[in-house]
A = this chain, B = another copy of it.
Amino acid sequence: CLLLMSSLPPPQHKFSKDTNADLLGFVDDFNGIIIDSKSLPTDKEMFGIVLQASLEVWKQEKRKGIWLKIPLPTHAELITEAIGQGFECHHGESGYVMFTKWLPETPNTIPAYTSHFVGVGGFVLNDKREILVIKEKNGPVTSIWKVPGGTADPGEDIAETAVREVLEETGIPCEFECILGFRQLHTARFGKSDMYFICYLKPKHCDIKIQESEIADAKWMDLDEFLNLKYYQGVYKKLLELGKDYADGKRDGIVAESLPVVFKPGNNTVYYTDNQSRL
């Protein structure tokens, strides 16, 4: 059950050292152990000895999942030792690789890492019923007209991504109105999933300035001409038609509202349909 969970303070704040192991490890909320990276020796042999001794203690203490974060490049030597003692890679980032080991005989319930890429496109229509479209300079598809957009930066809201990408690629500053719809796909890069949101944006002016490094061409195209391009069918035809319906006042969008998180300081963005007043 995820509701609330992700809004709580980072679990580290609640952990206590409540184990007799050689390595410094904190007991987590699931009776697992989070090994303190700061306490790791850099010497591989020494690490092998204390890890083995600690695992023995944790087995006796009936601990479940063991989390071992190996900082890079400083502690890279420890990786082969960890793998040798049965640890598996959980995920990695430029500064570390996280390994886990499940101690009990029961099935491993260690939660997986992030599963989804998040991409956002901008549906930008001007007063002449022309849509802002681009052609890419690089990548697998350079010959077709598309709406501008791209991948969410770390920590960026969907609405922010849409506005930023359109500005970067075409020089058009916009205001976010709503999400028109989105699709979920499960065969994206590295076998992971991808969510693509298409947002309705209102342009503040219409003077295109192309991003030279990534964009081969950009222009305003008649909306119906764009929708009739033969490569738009199925999923993408539908997503574009949602924009046409919205522009014509025939369909509501998914609006964004920033609300307090409650369980800690700050706000989160909530997205929902806003047709309440019309029913």
Contact = CB atoms under 8 A, between A and B. Distances in A.
Interface in A189-218: 189-196, 198, 214
A114 B113 contact: yes
A14 B139 CA distance: 11
A121 interface: yes
A119 interface: yes
A238 B269 CA distance: 11
Given A89-B92, A262-B236, A272-B242, A118 B120 contact: no
A155 B253 CA distance: 27
A186 interface: yes
B235 A7 contact: yes
B273 A254 contact: yes
Interface stretch (A16-24, A53-61, A77-85): A77-85
Interface of A: 1-8, 11, 14, 29-31, 72-73, 76-77, 79-80, 83-84, 88-98, 111-121, 134, 136, 138-141, 144, 146-152, 154-158, 165, 169, 180-196, 198, 214, 231, 233-236, 238-239, 242, 245, 249-254, 257, 259-262, 266-273, 275-276, 278-279
A85 to B, nearest CB: 11
B234 A251 contact: no
B275 A262 contact: no
Given A7-B185, A184-B157, A235 B252 contact: no
A1 B169 contact: yes
18 contacts: A1-B165, A3-B149, A4-B146, A73-B84, A76-B80, A76-B83, A79-B79, A88-B94, A114-B115, A114-B116, A116-B117, A181-B254, A181-B272, A183-B271, A234-B260, A236-B262, A251-B276, A278-B278
Nearest to A185: B268
A89 B80 contact: no
Contact of A1 (B98, B121, B186): B121
B91 A151 contact: no
